[in-house]
Structure 1
Amino acid sequence: MTVTTPNPAPVAEAPRSSGTRLVDRVLRMRELAILVVLLVMIAVTQAGNSEFLSAQGIKDLLLNATVLVLVATGQSLVVITRNVDLSVGSTLGISAFAAGTCLHRGGDAFVAILLAVLLGTGLGLLNGLLVSLGQVPALVVTLGTLYIIRGVDSIWVGSRQITAADLPGGFVGFGSAGVFAIPWLAVIALAVLVGTAYYLEHFGSGRELYALGSNPEAARLAGIPVRKRILAAYTFCGTLAGLAGAMYLARFGNVDSGTGNGYELTVVSAVVVGGVVFTGGSGSVYGAALGALLLTSVNSVLPALGVSSVWVLAVNGVLLLLAIAVDRIVALRVAAALKTKSDPRKTALAKENAGA
């Protein structure tokens, strides 16, 4: 006798918790708040300096943010997985010099950019292997590779310097060219940003990065390839840092052994200010891009208003502390919301208070 097993009923997707909804609302509010602050800051500066929003002024604002937006996009994926990459500044520097050396020796621009991207990809892959397969803390790994890459860069570059005179005119010109006030470099960065955001939202492997960052052990038990996802995030971050190195060369036309020094701290600040929670699992690349645009705009706004550039670092530090404080408040609110939901008596009491 043949026994027919009934088809199991489809499992309905679990509703999102109140804590998750709270995090989403706060992050959207933070991104909106950053945008409002940025617009107000630009409006005030324009009122004090009528040339600030000229076509060249807008182009300078976008060009100043382009490289940081690109690196912050890659860093966001790593931070979402509850990790960090402190070697992005060194990767950017050595990639820029590699591209510049190729161009200085008569190489094609496409080959030089490809060389920078491949170098960044290789360094990101190295970080990912050490973190994911070696099970070494990300902070230790990337701090070590930061110094290793910087040391190799210093030995290779030495006292040499690549300037705009050593580069093809078309390559340097592309770094400042564009359509009206929109530079081509900003268009490239925007395309990468939108593509990355689409991947995180619509692809299963992208959404798994958030699950991994929220709870690595639960993600592993759910069958998510944790090590593979971490490796992919680091490789992508290195790739964008390499591309940013080529764009940095096109933008400034000047590279030496000090290029990229300390840049990793600016990148991390942009990511955190933009709402990508440092404990992982929350945030968006759009928020990181807004954070990058805000930080770079401060560098332009203060001098335009006649304020000493010495205050730029102080303002960036204040923004970073405010972002960390917001993250802490959100974490406490989420914990309280989840605790209330898990206790039926507290939930009933909360409903009674809401009805009253």
Structure 2
Amino acid sequence: MADSALSRAVRWDTVVGALLVVLLLFSFSFVDGFGNALNLSFLIGNTLPIALIALPMTLLVVAGEIDLSVASTAGLSGSVMGALWNQGMAIETIIPLCLVLGVVCGLVNGLLVTRLGLPSLAVTIGTLAAYRGIAQIVLGSDAVTDFPVQYQDFAAGRIGDTFVPRAFPLFLVLLAVAVVVLHATPFGRSAFAIGANEEAARFAGIRVKRQKLLLFVATGFMASLTGVFWALHYASARYDNATGLELSVVAAVLLGGIDFDGGKGTLGGAIAGVFLLGALQNVMSLLNVSAQSQIVVTGVLLVVSVLGPRVGRQISVARAGRRAAAPTPVP
């Protein structure tokens, strides 16, 4: 019983949540400017693009796949948004079209992986370059900045005098939906089963290819939504929007305890990883740490996030082996 309680206490996602709390307590106490409403709003607003894509990415990695084209999909979405706005199309029409574009991008990735049997890592590295190239063709080197004020206010404004961004409640709704889907539905249980053992899941009657295809489509959709949010939040649509965001998303998801091989992890851990990474980057900026050094820290965290849970599992297996090998006391 004590061993079980201890293993729950040192579970990786629990450790990440504890680290987030410690970092916040330290930052509020010792980092000048961290606790003011403007900075907290800035922190959350800058973290939201990572958090939005992390929702479907978590489900995708749990199922044993990955999508590295998410940042390029976001950039393509922003480019199309800017190009169509320049042509005089209404923003209410542009945004749904951009979301459909994201679905198409995710569908292309999913079909290449599920129908042709190609590895998702290689496929999405290819589409990462392809989608970014298309974005540059669509918009060139132009920057579109004159989007409707009310949309920019929603993406970048705060609720009254609080530090809460106006877009944050929408994220909470999406988070609640993702938590229910992953942890309380047959679809989520199937994702864990696929990630743990794809062949066994197939023999159990799970439609593996269809489920993976849906997860790629959902990831493309959310990446496109993130591209729209990015362009409105930063009041600029450019072909290079969100460049490098895929590294932050993957680092945050793996940091939160999602196993890169699939089959393990919690969405709560992933979101804790997202905000731990976001808070750490914010603190480093306030402490005038260079952007290059921040990239180094992100890379180190990515390595630690892959290594940490594996070391923890090896320790657990070793402890279990020692308990099994221990002689049974004679009554």
**Counterpart of 1:52?**
34
- Residue 246 of structure 2 is aligned to residue 264 of structure 1: yes
Secondary structure of 1:152's partner? Answer: helix
CA contact (8 A) 2:27 2:283 kept: yes
In 2, Cα distance between the equivalents of 1:187 and 1:159? 34
**Counterpart of 2:265?**
283
Q: How many angstroms does 1:303 deviate by? A: 2.4
Q: Which moved more, 1:324-333 or 1:52-61?
A: 324-333
**Counterpart of 2:96?**
114
Secondary structure of 1:60's partner? Answer: helix
2:149 corresponds, among 154, 159, 169, to 169
Q: Which amino acid aligns with 1:183?
A: P
In 2, Cα distance between the equivalents of 1:350 and 1:195? 46
Structure-2 change in CA distance of 1:228 and 1:334 (3 Å)? farther
CA contact (8 A) 1:95 1:119 kept: yes
Q: Which amino acid aligns with 1:352?
A: T
CA contact (8 A) 2:31 2:283 kept: no
1:97 corresponds, among 48, 72, 79, to 79
Structure-2 change in CA distance of 1:104 and 1:351 (3 Å)? farther
Q: Which moved more, 1:205-214 or 1:316-325?
A: 316-325
CA-based RMSD: 2.5
**Deviations 1:114-138, CA, capped at 9 Å, x for gaps:** 1221111111011111101111111
Larger radius of gyration: 1
Q: Which amino acid aligns with 2:149?
A: G
**Deviations 1:310-342, CA, capped at 9 Å, x for gaps:** 32122222222221222222443566688x5xx
In 1, Cα distance between the equivalents of 2:142 and 2:257? 39
Q: How does 1:30-109 map to 2 (within 5 A)?
A: 30-109=12-91
- Residue 116 of structure 2 is aligned to residue 134 of structure 1: yes
1:182 corresponds, among 164, 178, 183, to 164
Q: Which amino acid aligns with 1:252?
A: Y
In 2, Cα distance between the equivalents of 1:257 and 1:348? 58
In 2, Cα distance between the equivalents of 1:306 and 1:284? 33
CA contact (8 A) 1:100 1:112 kept: no
**Deviations 1:35-70, CA, capped at 9 Å, x for gaps:** 332232233233334432111121111101111000
Secondary structure of 1:162's partner? Answer: coil
CA contact (8 A) 2:73 2:102 kept: yes
In 2, Cα distance between the equivalents of 1:351 and 1:206? 41
In 2, Cα distance between the equivalents of 1:112 and 1:290? 33
Counting matched residue pairs gives 326
Structure-2 change in CA distance of 1:307 and 1:90 (3 Å)? closer
**Counterpart of 2:176?**
194
Structure-2 change in CA distance of 1:306 and 1:123 (3 Å)? closer
Q: How many angstroms does 1:111 deviate by? A: 2.3
| Structure 2: gaps (5+ residues) | none
Structure-2 change in CA distance of 1:258 and 1:203 (3 Å)? same
**Deviations 1:231-284, CA, capped at 9 Å, x for gaps:** 111111111101111111121111212112222122111111111110000112
Q: Which amino acid aligns with 1:317?
A: G
- Residue 299 of structure 2 is aligned to residue 323 of structure 1: no
- Residue 122 of structure 2 is aligned to residue 146 of structure 1: no
Structure-2 change in CA distance of 1:29 and 1:109 (3 Å)? farther
1:228 corresponds, among 204, 210, 217, to 210
CA contact (8 A) 2:66 2:120 kept: yes
| Structure 1: gaps (5+ residues) | 1-20, 341-345
CA contact (8 A) 1:74 1:240 kept: yes
- Residue 185 of structure 2 is aligned to residue 209 of structure 1: no
Secondary structure of 2:11's partner? Answer: helix
**Counterpart of 1:352?**
328
Q: How does 1:2-21 map to 2 (within 5 A)?
A: none
In 2, Cα distance between the equivalents of 1:147 and 1:268? 17
Q: Which moved more, 1:307-316 or 1:247-256?
A: 307-316
- TM-score, normalised to structure 1, is 0.84
In 1, Cα distance between the equivalents of 2:140 and 2:82? 14
**Deviations 1:279-324, CA, capped at 9 Å, x for gaps:** 0001122222221211122221012234334321222222222212
CA contact (8 A) 2:113 2:119 kept: yes
Structure-2 change in CA distance of 1:49 and 1:137 (3 Å)? closer
Structure-2 change in CA distance of 1:146 and 1:352 (3 Å)? same
In 2, Cα distance between the equivalents of 1:142 and 1:337? 39
**Counterpart of 1:25?**
8
CA contact (8 A) 1:45 1:52 kept: yes
Q: Which moved more, 1:290-299 or 1:304-313?
A: 304-313
